[in-house]
Amino acid sequence: MKNKEPLILVVVVAFTLLTYWLVEPYAHSVMHKHVESQNFAYADLKPLTKTGNAAAGKDLVMGAAACTGCHSIEKAGMPSAMDAVSAAASYGVNPPDLSNAGAIYDAKFLADVIVNPAHALKVEHKFDASKGKMHPMAPFAGAGGELEQEVADMVAYLQSIAVKPDQVTPKMAYENACGRCHSVSYEKWTQIGEKPAFKFEKDSLAFDIKVLEYQESLTKYMGKLPPDLSMYIRSRGEHFISTFIENPQAHLEGTAMPRVGVTADAAHKVIEYLEDAGDTKRHERASVGKMVLIFSVVFAIFALLWKKQVWKNLH
Amino acid sequence: MGKAFGAVAGVGAVGSLVAMKKTWDPLPSVKAAGFTTLDMSIYKEGEIITEKWRGKPIFVLRKTAAMVAKQTESQKARDVVVGDAHYMLAIGLCTHLGCIPAYIPAEESFLCACHGGQFNWAGEVTKVPPPRGFDIPPFKIDGTKVILGEVGPEYQKMKDSGVTL
Amino acid sequence: MAHFTKATSVKDWLNQRLAIETVEKVMASEYWIPKNINFLWAMGMVLAITFSLLLVSGIFLLMYYQPDVKDAFYSVNYTIMRDVDYGWLWRHIHGVAASVVFLIIYIHMFTGIYYGSYKKGREMIWVSGMLLFVTFSAEAFSGYMLPWGQMSYWAGMVITNIFSLGGLHLDGLVEWIRGDYVPAQAFLTRFFMLHVLLLPLAIMGLIGLHFAALRIPHVNNQDGEEIDFEAESKKYLAGDTAGSKVIRFANDFMSKDLMVVGFFLIFFFYLVFFQYGFALDPVNFDPADGLKTPAHIYPEWYFLWSYEILRPFSVNIGLVAFGFAQVIFVLLPWLDRSPNAVPASRRGMFKVWFWVLLVDMIVLTAMGKLPPEGIFSTIGLVAALLFIVLWIALPFITKNEKKA
């Protein structure tokens, strides 16, 4: 009698893999738009041609360019002019603190956002100056010198005060680039900061009300409340999030979400933050998985040996 | 006697089934929370707004003058008129299997992502599988307000003529 | 009262009271299985193991799960996935096993169809198996509601809407099933009850029936050979184990079962730890939102073929076709008019029928997931019609089958 088992196994595995391929990789490739990563090169933005002078930049940032009218720079001893809730009421969203902007955001992006915010942020469909819809961030038109040089100086200043790029933590990157619009409730992160542990419920509720007030302004500004990102690493996956951060319009034309202009490194940090929130046990899963698979192979070997022993007398 | 005993036991079983069926019914609180009042004066022409009634999305579209002018007889029958404004008022669920179609302003129509059904701006179905246009929720016109969940004469007329279920 | 003597051992004590030696013979050492079988005959054991994995992982999930629309998503994705030690492990095992169990059920089912294991005397094995398929489907669906994510909610909405039965407009029935106008608290709690109590009880009862149905007609074999179990078992007990056509359930058959289980577990745990996306749909990691339909709604892969039979038609015809697909498999022992209980390869036209059905169901499965547009809806319609035609044709092509 011929042993048909190898053939049967091939048939079963082939049909299983075919079905899997059809309903998973193939169906998803049809259903979802595929967006390639550009490695955060921001090729549409002009490269900086001038070498910036941080000291000159400091004078501009603090003085003529009036950045600190809206942005705090806590590292340089410039506190914010108002609290997050009032800032959101005025601008729609709380302007970011610029202490570490030089490490988190791409230099080309920073340069462009200073002179033309709606362009750098890719929200020109929403803020069209010719239709009288101005972006809440006023563009910098120059302080008398050469514009390109002045912008380069300001970027150089921001880079000089920021932490070294390799010292940017996942939390720092997330809070600065994403956290003023997106809460991450599983990390207790709200749009106005991490919710502290309050001793009295009254204080806790007061904090919640501040968050709700902030969210109200934000909803008006964005059209709808930006989603909580706690589980986004599982619901969207790393590739989607990474390419979406790089250019939201490529995925979702007309979305109100701006391009945030983070560097590739900062984007990785953001992803890491989301992994810690929504896929906290991934390292444990990988290590336990390896052990369980090794055990399963040993189990199968012993099962095979026992079967051979039992069946020795049956053939 | 055995059969008689069986019959008595059967009566008990049927009685308990009645109790079990009733326990699965929607609760009185669920049924009572079924009324929503809409202020119809706040809607802008040509803009789709989604309200909520009994947990279901309700589409309200204040028709533009152009839409009103080109209405066919069947579309007029679905028209909800409050004062001198015309509205498309409907349960925003695809009549096929209950997904929420999205409004595409450029095409003035609704597209259901689930099975590809389409509806026009008046709420009529234009592409199967949905078997009929959007259902219209029971409503009663009260001045510039509309109360969803209550049956007014305008709704009764639509129901009687088979415009909605 | 029976006569009891002073026990000579614990085993003897138990034997006097529970007849464990007789039970052991009936259930294991003298439960005779044909020797001429291949690894497909181990799928029953693989299913039993997978079901046990579901049961055990389910018990641990039950300890932290909250059946409340406000807390359900959080209790699954935060409490179980982040807080509970190894909570993620139980969830991954539960989710992956729920999907893999259907793969094995389909292999088990098509094995039965291929080898004619539903023929005269074995009808109840088939019928109880199909009842298990239905209860497993209900169990899978009710369990899918529990994380209360976007797919839970919208699958719940779409599937319960089927009970309005199209043109009959039984909206009252739909609301009765849900306990609300839309899937909400009452809906979640009652599906929770079904998932953790009523349906598992039904499944365990049906597994008992399925096993019992097997005992009298015995397991089929690879060549459809009629075996005289009495004579062959005597041969075995007389010491001619190599010459006998039968083997003991334990340890002979079981050792082969467990070997297959061993290889299966490598595959299973690989999926649990490294390739779980197919079973834990990404969309269901978004919390349920009744005002926002996901861009694509599709059931889990194992329901796709019957979903695709519903989809390409207008609503009433679609429902009739769907109902047809649900019950038709149960009738297989009576629709197949040939008495031949042999492999499909020796059954002429039936062989063609078998492979066409298998491929057609895979096509339906693929089309059920793809968006219903253009060429996909055409292929889906053709495949759905072919499915119906195949089953209508079955009695005719098997009626005149030659005796194999």
Q: DSSP string covering C245-269, please?
A: SEEEIIIIIHHHHHHHHHHHHHHHH
Which of A128, A101, A3, A115 has the alpha carbon at shortest distance from A48?
Answer: A115
For A18, which of C256, C287, C362 is closest by C-beta distance? C362
Q: Mean pLDDT across the stretch A192-197?
A: 95
Cβ pair C103:A230 closer than 8 A: no
Q: Please tell me the pTM assigned to this model.
A: 0.89
For A281, which of C39, C88, C261 is closest by C-beta distance? C88
Output the pLDDT for position B133. 87
Q: Is C399 helix (H, G, I), strand (E, B) or coil?
A: helix
For residue B77, CA distances in Å to B80, B87, B123, B124, B161 come to: 8, 12, 11, 11, 9
Average pLDDT per 10 consecutive residues for chain C, totaling 404 residues: 89 95 93 94 97 97 97 97 96 98 98 95 96 97 96 91 79 88 92 97 98 93 92 95 94 95 98 96 93 82 94 85 92 95 93 97 96 88 96 94 76
Token pair 């738009």 is at which residue? Answer: A33
Q: Is A69 helix (H, G, I), strand (E, B) or coil?
A: helix
Output the pLDDT for position C316. 86
Superfamily of domain C36-219+250-297: Cytochrome Bc1 Complex; Chain C (1.20.810.10)
Query: Does the pLDDT value for residue A2 go beyond 70?
Result: no
Q: Is B91 helix (H, G, I), strand (E, B) or coil?
A: strand
Closest CA–CA distance from residue C80 to any residue of chain B (Å): 29
Q: How far apart are the first and last CA of chain A?
A: 12
Q: Which amino acid is at B79?
A: D
Cβ pair C39:A9 closer than 8 A: yes
Query: Does the pLDDT value for residue B114 go beyond 70?
Result: no
Task: Identify the residue with better confidence: A145 or C138.
Answer: C138
Which site among A26, A234, A244, A309 would you substitute to test the C interface, given the most C Cβ atoms closer than 10 Å to its Cβ? A234
Task: Identify the residue with better confidence: B112 or A185.
Answer: A185
Least confidently predicted of A34-38, A129-133, A145-149, A278-282: A129-133
Instruction: Please report residues of B whose CB lies closer than 8 A to that of C295.
Output: 113
Cβ pair B52:C291 closer than 8 A: yes
Superfamily of domain B34-160: Rieske [2Fe-2S] iron-sulphur domain (2.102.10.10)
Rounded to 5°, the CA angle B62-B63-B67 comes to 175
Closest CA–CA distance from residue C278 to any residue of chain B (Å): 20
ipTM of the complex: 0.94
Task: Identify the residue with better confidence: C80 or B105.
Answer: C80
Which site among C170, C178, C181, C375 would you substitute to test the B interface, given the most B Cβ atoms closer than 10 Å to its Cβ? C181
Cβ pair C252:A289 closer than 8 A: no
Touching partners of B (3+ C-beta pairs < 8 Å): C
Provide the pLDDT confidence category of residue B157 given band limits of 50, 70 and 90: confident
Closest CA–CA distance from residue B49 to any residue of chain C (Å): 12
Residues of C with CB under 8 A from a CB of B: 154, 157-158, 161-162, 166-167, 169, 175-182, 184, 186, 190, 290-297, 311, 313-316, 318, 371-373, 377
For A289, which of C251, C274, C282 is closest by C-beta distance? C274
Provide the pLDDT confidence category of residue A188 given band limits of 50, 70 and 90: very high
Provide the pLDDT confidence category of residue A194 given band limits of 50, 70 and 90: very high
Provide the pLDDT confidence category of residue B83 given band limits of 50, 70 and 90: confident
E strand or H helix at C192: helix C185-193
> What are the domain boundaries of chain C?
36-219+250-297, 304-404
> What are the domain boundaries of chain B?
1-29, 34-160
Query: Does the pLDDT value for residue A201 go beyond 60?
Result: yes
Rounded to 5°, the CA angle A199-A200-A205 comes to 120
- Cα separation of C348 and C358, whole Å? 16
Q: Which residues have C-beta within 8 Å of that of residue B35, sequence separation ≥ 6? A: B147, B148, B149, B150
For C269, which of A15, A234, A296 is closest by C-beta distance? A296
Q: Is C74 helix (H, G, I), strand (E, B) or coil?
A: helix
Q: Do chains A and C touch (3 or more CB pairs under 8 A)?
A: yes
Output the pLDDT for position C372. 81
Closest CA–CA distance from residue B123 to any residue of chain C (Å): 18
- Cα separation of A196 and A216, whole Å? 21
Residue C239: exposed, middle, or buried by beta-carbon count in 10 A (0-12, 13-18, 19+)? Answer: exposed
Output the pLDDT for position B113. 66
